[in-house]
A and B are shown apart, each in its own frame.
Chain A
């Protein structure tokens, strides 16, 4: 079942198109890695998933229901932290959890709250005011708030931002625990592939609000596969030829060129096939890994 189903959403801020016809699906139990440079539209997308930002067009469904019409009932099943862990400096960790437990439809007991504090490792600081907390502790409390009502879908926007290596590792373990032990769907965004690739089962890469690549992590990060970028004089004809061939399976959905993710030994065959289809090739460029590819995509100012 699709926990998240995004259909062709766009968001325009004045002249800036922050998100551009983005579509993707997240299945139940996935740890879905949402990758993109800072400013690529990740946060805007996540805020649209949480109804903080109204999409200019397109539709979002959570748990099979349209978000717009079923907002309140759907948000009950979602826990999220968005960007910075912003909290009330004058409240303690426990008070935060009590406060946010109160505004959930389901009854949350004190032992639920204590268990959440335990889970995020804040039991010993539960009565301290948040203004005395380090960024890492705030981030953990933010996750605690997202988890306190035991949601099925957890959305974490850049959860490792500003954390030290230990903090980053803690978050990674927590995500793994939530997915494996508690069977939750986790949607996690980052601008660093290295953080995502270890936990995510699915990856979606966006750049300038557009999807540039996506799929199962294992497939995308297959060491036997290489990213291939071909340049031709007639892209349209090339795509037409590729789509009817077996190479269509390797095609990366990108709008700014033709990219493949394919076993290295297949590259000569691709080359040959295109030549035979009378496609005037200019260049066939290979990249070593998804990391290279991601870096190239995200550093490219095209």
Chain B
């Protein structure tokens, strides 16, 4: 099995397309970092308009931790599209090339190949996420320094002390890995259904965009199905950045407001992964390779 995974990773590594996503993420992040470096004060001033009326805030609001949070908020919606570019091409791309015939006539079962491909695609996804983490977190820290994380949410602000932030990012990135692996597995499922590259890629992207819209619209009709959409859960990495407060309205360091929500989301995402990958295996197993 490891042989197959290494073969699949080797193919991903050798493909020029692989690097598009890495380049795109780097470009996006650098542009945002540059923008915030130059004009960040007015951005944070705009966000804090309400608060500044009452409170005077001192310290580096616009530090590496907040920049990373802003970047994640902006990017984690779009990274799935980049993930789809590779994941949705894993099987159908080879069907399109005709190389599926070659790999499916080796002495390994289709299930083994599909699993190897999924592991390879997930590895790619996770590497992309690590690249994102490196740029969004560490490069931001390098450029903007660190301080407490001052988060402005819709209804309240959360001030997380500097020492209490890093582990939350670790948690958030692990969570994001699950979210993106769900996208990977959806791309994979689409990929197993088609014999061309474009269809599954566009299909996966459309599905994500469509479901994301359903997840974000506050329409009662959609609220019924929302808890079952994986896109609803994908954004819950943010839960790592909310604190519990005690009776004195004093935030408890090291606490997470709604850990059950995170757990629930992880379960839903994992079930989606199992469902999508399982379906892919079944489809590929039954499929006649006609390409």
Residues in A lying within 8 Å of B, measured CB to CB: 13, 47, 50-54, 71-76, 78, 80, 82-84, 86-91, 95, 99-100, 102-105, 145
Determine whether the beta carbon of A103 is less than 8 Å from that of B106.
yes
In the assembly, what is the distance between CA of A105 and CA of B107, in Å?
Answer: 7
In the assembly, what is the distance between CA of A145 and CA of B102, in Å?
Answer: 9
**10 A–B contacts from the bound complex (CB under 8 Å):** A50-B105, A54-B288, A75-B105, A76-B107, A84-B98, A86-B97, A86-B98, A91-B14, A104-B107, A105-B107
In the assembly, what is the distance between CA of A205 and CA of B209, in Å?
Answer: 53
Say yes or no: A99-B10 contact (C-beta < 8 A), given A52-B105, A73-B107: yes
Of the listed stretches B1-9, B48-56, B211-219, B245-253, name the one at the interface; the rest are far from the partner chain: B1-9
In the assembly, what is the distance between CA of A84 and CA of B99, in Å?
Answer: 10
Which of B10, B109, B288 interacts with A53 by CB under 8 Å? B288
- The smallest C-beta distance from A40 to any residue of chain B, in angstroms, reads 16
- The smallest C-beta distance from A84 to any residue of chain B, in angstroms, reads 6
Which of B102, B104, B106 interacts with A86 by CB under 8 Å? B102
Residues of A within 8 A of B288 (CB): 13, 47, 52-54
Which of B99, B104, B289 interacts with A88 by CB under 8 Å? B99
Determine whether the beta carbon of A103 is less than 8 Å from that of B98.
no
Residue in chain B with minimal CB distance to A86 = B98
Determine whether the beta carbon of A72 is less than 8 Å from that of B108.
yes
Residues of B within 8 A of A89 (CB): 97
In the assembly, what is the distance between CA of A75 and CA of B97, in Å?
Answer: 22
> Which B residues between 82 and 108 are near A, CB-CB below 8 angstroms?
97-99, 101-108
Residues of A within 8 A of B16 (CB): 90
Say yes or no: A90-B102 contact (C-beta < 8 A), given A73-B107, A102-B3: no
- The smallest C-beta distance from B101 to any residue of chain A, in angstroms, reads 5
In the assembly, what is the distance between CA of A204 and CA of B51, in Å?
Answer: 86
- The smallest C-beta distance from B89 to any residue of chain A, in angstroms, reads 13
- The smallest C-beta distance from A237 to any residue of chain B, in angstroms, reads 42
Which of A47, A71, A99 interacts with B289 by CB under 8 Å? A47
Residue in chain A with minimal CB distance to B97 = A86
In the assembly, what is the distance between CA of A104 and CA of B99, in Å?
Answer: 16
Determine whether the beta carbon of A103 is less than 8 Å from that of B99.
no
| 0/1 interface trace, chain B 247-278, chain A, CB 8 Å (1 if under) | 00000000000000000000000000000000
In the assembly, what is the distance between CA of A74 and CA of B107, in Å?
Answer: 7
Q: Does B78 sit within 8 A of A, measured CB to CB? A: no
Residues of B within 8 A of A105 (CB): 107
- A-B residue pairs, 3 tightest by C-beta: A86-B98, A52-B289, A76-B107
Residue in chain A with minimal CB distance to B286 = A54
In the assembly, what is the distance between CA of A76 and CA of B288, in Å?
Answer: 20
Q: Does B224 sit within 8 A of A, measured CB to CB? A: no
Residues of A within 8 A of B105 (CB): 50-52, 75, 78, 80, 82
Residue in chain A with minimal CB distance to B291 = A86
- Beyond A99-B11, A103-B3, A103-B103, 12 additional pairs, beta carbon < 8 A: A47-B288, A47-B289, A51-B105, A52-B101, A52-B289, A54-B286, A71-B109, A75-B105, A86-B101, A89-B97, A90-B14, A105-B107
Residue in chain A with minimal CB distance to B112 = A72
Select the residue from B4, B98, B106 with max chain A CB neighbours within 10 A: B106
Q: Does B38 sit within 8 A of A, measured CB to CB? A: no
In the assembly, what is the distance between CA of A71 and CA of B111, in Å?
Answer: 13
Select the residue from B6, B107, B108 with max chain A CB neighbours within 10 A: B107
In the assembly, what is the distance between CA of A99 and CA of B99, in Å?
Answer: 12
